[in-house]
Structure 1
Amino acid sequence: MCTRCRNRGGANAPELNTMLWLYIHFPALQLDSLPTAPNETPCPRAIVCERHFTVLQLNTEAEASGLHLGMGMALACSLNRELQVLPFQSNFGPERLREIAHLLYPLSADISIFEPDGLLLKASSMLRYHGGLTPYWQAITAHLNNEGLRHSAATGLRPLSARVVARHGDTCIEDDNHWLQHHWQILPLHAADFASRPLNDLQRLGLKSLAKLCALPRSELADRLDNTSLTYLQKLTGEKPHPVRFFTPPERFGHYRELPCEIETTDALLPPLTVTVQSLQRFLQSRAQVTDALQLTLHLRAQESIVLNIHAGGGEDSAKLWQGLIELKLESLALNAAIYAYTLSANRSFNREQKNQDLFCNQNAELTPAQLLARLQAKLGSEAIKQTLLCNDFRPGVHPGHIKPTQKLTALTPHSLRPSVLLRHPKATAEPLVLVHGPERIVTGWWDQQTLSRDYFVARNRAGRWLWVYKPLSPPDKNWYIHGYFC
C-alpha cells in the first residue's frame, strides 16, 4: 500500500481551471459502522456474501489472524474459531454513504456518491478555502477517523483515474500534474472496473498494466471490447467526460438502518440507535436547528411495525437528551416479534431560539421545564401529562378541565386574597376566629345551576394560622366553614 500526501507549489501546482478530484474508498464500510459497547473486547469479524459464502470484509483482528478477502466462509471459520460472521447487507452501503457525504458536506460542497463503497469530491474548488491540498485532506481524515472508518484515497485529474488508484488500496494525495497524469497507468489491469469477461480477454493478449492497454490503438480495442468497456476506457483516459451527479443534503432527517442480526430485546437496540441519534445531532447543529418530535419505527419480522412518537417540549438538538428520551420510551415496550430494522425520522425542524441567561447562574446540571416535561411524557405517555385550564370564574373550587401541557394558557390577573391551599370539600368549624379582612360577597353561578351565595373572610385562629372562611347566605347558615389555608 502506498501512502503519499504532498502539496506542491509553483508551476506544477494545479491551476484554478484544472480539475482536481479526490476519491475516497471504504473497503469495510458495513463492518466499520457496526456499533460497539464501551467495554466490549474486540473480536475477529467478517462480512460474508450469503450467495457465494465468500468473505467480503474483515476487521483488523480477523486480518491479523491470517484471514483474507475472497476466501470461503468454511475455511475462514476453521482457521479462526472465534470468528463472528455477519451477512452482507446490500442496501447498507448507499445509506451509510449518504450519512458520510452529509458529514463531509461542510468541508467540501461538491460530493458525488459512488455506490456501494466510495465518495468522489471535487477538490479543486475547495483548496483556496482550506489553504491547500494538505490542510484540506487533513480536515477530511479527521472526520473519517472520528467515525472509525478505514479508507484509502487518491487524487486525480479525472474521476475514474482517482477511483482506480484509491480502490487499488493506495492513499496518494498529490497535486503534481505529471504524476497525476501517469501514476494510475502503472497499476495492474484488474485495478480497473472492467467486467470479468472483457478483463479475461485482455489478459489473454498478455496485457498486464493499464499503460499497455492505453498504448493500443483504439481501432484494435474496438474489436476486442464491448461498447460498455470501451466507453469506460475512454472516460478513464479523458477522451470522454464522465458525468458527475452531486449530492444534495436532505431537507429532513430520516435514517433507515437494518440490524446485523435480529434482536428480541430493546436493550440490544440502544447501541445502533446511539450512532443514529448522533447523526441527528450533527444534522441539526449544521443547520442551527432543533426538533421537538421524533418518530421511531421498529420493523418486526412477520408483524406490523411499531411506531413510537417521542416529544421534547421546546425543541432539542442534543443527542444525549434524545437518547435518554428514547430509552425511557423503550422501557415500557413489550416486543412480540424480533426487530430486523428501524427508522428514525424528524418530520419537522425549526431554528433554535437564542435564550439570554444569567452570567452567574449555572444551569448546566438542571432540567429546563421543557426537558422535564419531555421526560415525563416519554416515561408515562403523552396522554398522562396535563395542565389545569384557567378560566375567569369567581366561584372557588370550580374546575374547568385539563388541556395539553404544550398548549399556551391565557394570562389571568390573580386575586391577591386567595389561599395557596384550597380544600376540595369545605369543613365546618366552631373554633374561635379573629376576622381580619372581609367580607367579600360572592353571589354567582345562576347560569349553570351551580349557584353560590357566600360571604368570605380572611381569619386567624388561636394557633395563629391564617384561614379563608365563609358564612353561607342562601340558604342562611350560622356556621363558619373553612375553605382554604394561607401558607
Structure 2
Amino acid sequence: MTTLWISLILPLPLAACPGLQASLSQFTPRITLLDPLMLSLDLSGSLPLFGGPRALWRRVLHASPHGTRAGMAPGAWASALLARGSPHRRRTLQLTSMQRNLDHLPCTTLVLTSTQAAQLCDWGCEVLGQLRQLPRSGLAQRGLSSLLTQLDRAYDPAPPATPWLAAPVSFHATRELDFHGTSLAAIDTALIPLVTELCQYLQVHQAATPRIDLTLHHDATRMADPTTFLPLALSQPQWALNACLHLCRLRLQSLTLPGPVLSLTVSCPHCPPRHSVPTSLLPDARLDQQKTDHLLDTLQARLGADCLAHPQLQGWPNPEQAELWSQATQSSQCTTHTPTRYHWPDSRPFWLLPRPILLSTRQEHPLWQGQPLQLQPRPERIEQGWWRLNNTRRDYFMAQDQHSARYWVYHDLKSGNWFLHGLFA
C-alpha cells in the first residue's frame, strides 16, 4: 500500500481552530500533532475513497483554515518540511522524488538555534543536500546532533513517534454571530455550520446522537441570565444533516428571543455508536416506526418537550392505575412496574375521565344529564386489593343515551353508587 502524508502548518494553534479536527477526520482518523502549529494526516488508506492524491489534496486544503500551508510526501516529517520550506514543489508521491526535493530545501527549514545557523553559514552549507554530505561524526562533535535527528526523521518514511489525536467522546462547539442577532435568520447563519460540523463528527465516528442541546448566549451586562438553554431530545438517535438541521430550526422557531444573541453553542453530551440499518426488498415495519419517530421529533421541536406524553402499561387492573404517562422521548427511561399478562377487552372507551363523576339515580338506575342510560348486558367486574381495607369492587357497563352516545359507567359494589368513568368515540 502506498504511504502518503499531508502535513498542515496552521495559522493558529489547533485549540484555537474549533471543529478543525472533526472536519479533517472525515478523510482519515490517523491524525497526529507534530508541534502546536503542525498537523500531519496519514492518508494511505483514504486514496481510493476520494479520487486519488490530487483530489484529496484539494479537499484537505478546502477544509483547512485560511492561511494554512500544506505539504504532501511519503513521510510525515518530509511533508512537514516541504510545507515549511518549499514555495513551489510541495507535493511528491515517490520516495526518490521526496529525497530529491528535500535535498533542495534550505537548511533554515530545520529548527535551528542562532549558533547553529551561524555555523552552517560559515561553512557555506545552504541546502539539506549539502548538510547530508558532511561527516556525521564531525557534526555530532560540534553540537549539531539535533540537526542529525531532524534529517533522519525527514528522510525516513516511517510513521512519527507522536501519538494519534484521540476523538472526543462528546461534541461541543460554539460560533459567534457576525452581529448581534435579533432574528432567526441571523441565528441560522451560525446554526448551519455548527450542525454541519456535528454531523461530520457523527459520520467520522459512525455515531448518532439521541439529544441536541442549543445554547444562546446574550449580553451579560444587560441581562441577569445571559443564556437561553434549548434541549432537544430525539425519539431515535440521528446523524443525518437534513434531519438534525430541520429539527433545530423548528426548535428555534418556537422561541421568543429575550434579547440579542451574541453566539450559539451546539452540544451533544453522549454520542453512542449507530446501529446498522438492514436493507430488504420486502416492506419493513421499521420504516413505519421511522415515520412515527419523525412525527414525534417534529411535534416536540415545535411544541416543546413537555407537550408530548406517552402511555405505559402498568400491572394494575384498576383503569385509573393501569397506565402511566411520561414524556414521549423518555418513556424508555421511566421506572415502571412490570406489566402482567392481562387481556384488555374491546369494550374499553377511547377517553378515560381524570376522575369518575358521581351519577344521580332513579329507582337504582343511573341518570346522565337528567336522562336515563340504557345499560348493555354482560358487565365487566374489576376487583383489586382484596387484602386491603380500601379494596375496589366494581361492575363496568357500556351505557347508551337517547342520542345513541355511548358511555362507560360502573356500579360501586361497596357503596352502591353509580359513576361515569369514560366516553366512547
Instruction: Report the counterpart of residue 318 of structure 1 in structure 2.
Output: 240
**Aligned counterparts, 1:160-239, within 5 A:** 160-167=77-84, 168-170=86-88, 172-194=90-112, 198-199=116-117, 202=120, 208-215=126-133, 228-229=146-147, 231-233=149-151, 235-236=153-154
- The amino acid of 1:113's aligned partner reads L
Q: CA deviation at 1:157?
A: 5.5
Change (3 A) 1:254 1:459: closer
Kindly indicate whether the alpha-carbon contact (under 8 Å) linking 1:155 and 1:180 is maintained by their aligned counterparts in 2. no
**Residue 414 of structure 1 is aligned with which of 335, 341, 344?**
344
Matched, 1:103 2:43: no
**1:245 lines up with 2:162 in the alignment:** yes
**Greater Cα offset, 160-169 or 399-408:** 399-408
Which string of whole-angstrom CA distances, capped at 9 and with x for unpartnered residues, describes residues 281-331 of structure 1? 334344544232345677889799877654222322223333344445556
Counterpart for residue 199 of structure 2: 281
Shift of 1:247: 1.9
2:403 equivalent to 1:463: yes
User: What does the per-residue CA deviation read over 1:348-391, in whole Å, with 9 as the maximum and x for residues that have no partner?
Assistant: 40341637789568998997443444455555554554434544
Which residue is equivalent to 1:387? 310
Q: Distance in 2 between matches of 1:242 and 1:148?
A: 22
> Secondary structure of the equivalent of 1:416?
coil
Distance 1:222 1:306 in 2: 62
Q: Which residue of 2 aligns with 1:22?
A: 5
> C-alpha displacement at 1:25, in angstroms?
3.0
Aligned to 1:114: 34
Distance 1:393 1:120, change over 3 A: closer
Query: RMSD between aligned alpha carbons?
Result: 5.1
2:40 maps to amino acid: L
Task: Tell whether the 8 Å contact from 1:454 to 1:472 is kept in structure 2 after alignment.
Answer: yes
Cα 1:203–1:297, aligned 2, differ >3 Å: closer, same or farther?
farther
Where 2:398 maps in the other structure, the secondary structure is strand
Please say if residues 23 and 63 of structure 2, whose CA atoms lie closer than 8 Å, have aligned partners that are also in contact: no
Structure 1 gaps of 5+ residues are 1-15, 30-55, 57-87
Question: CA distance change for structure 1 residues 266 and 323 in 2, over 3 Å: closer, same or farther?
Answer: farther
SS, match of residue 180 in structure 1: helix
Shift, 1:207, TM fit: 5.5
Residue 104 of structure 1 aligns to a residue whose secondary structure is: coil
After superposition, the Cα gap between the structure-2 partners of 1:449 and 1:354, relative to the gap in structure 1 and judged at 3 Å, is farther
- Conservation of the 8 A alpha-carbon contact between 2:23 and 2:197: no
Is 1:486 the counterpart of 2:409 in the alignment? Answer: no
Task: Render the CA deviation track for 1:22-44: whole Å, top value 9, x for unaligned.
Answer: 33336xx6xxxxxxxxxxxxxxx
Residue type matched to 1:144 in 2?
Answer: V
> TM-score of the superposition, structure 1-length normalised?
0.61
Whether contact under 8 Å (1:152, 1:169) holds in the other structure is: no
> Residues 288 and 217 (structure 1 numbering): CA distance in 2 closer, same or farther, change over 3 Å?
closer
Match status 1:438 vs 2:378: yes
Amino acid at match of 1:92: A
Change (3 A) 1:486 1:256: closer
Contact 1:101-1:119 within 8 A present in 2 as well: no
Between the aligned partners of 1:474 and 1:279, the Cα distance in structure 2 is: 65
In 1: Cα distance, 2:236 partner to 2:72 partner: 45
Q: For 2:396 and 2:219, how far apart are their aligned partners in 1?
A: 66
> Do the aligned partners of 2:72 and 2:91 also contact (CA within 8 Å) in 1?
yes
SS at match of 1:457: strand
Distance 1:440 1:241 in 2: 80
In structure 2, how many angstroms separate the alpha carbons of the residues matched to 1:143 and 1:171? 18
Whichever residue aligns with residue 413 of structure 1, its letter is H
Structure 1 residue 104 displacement after superposition: 1.8
Q: Give the secondary structure class of the aligned counterpart of 1:280.
A: helix
Distance in structure 1 (CA, Å) of the matches to 2:311 and 2:250: 25
Find the partner of 1:350 among 254, 268, 273: 273
Question: In structure 2, what is the equivalent of residue 370 of structure 1?
Answer: 293
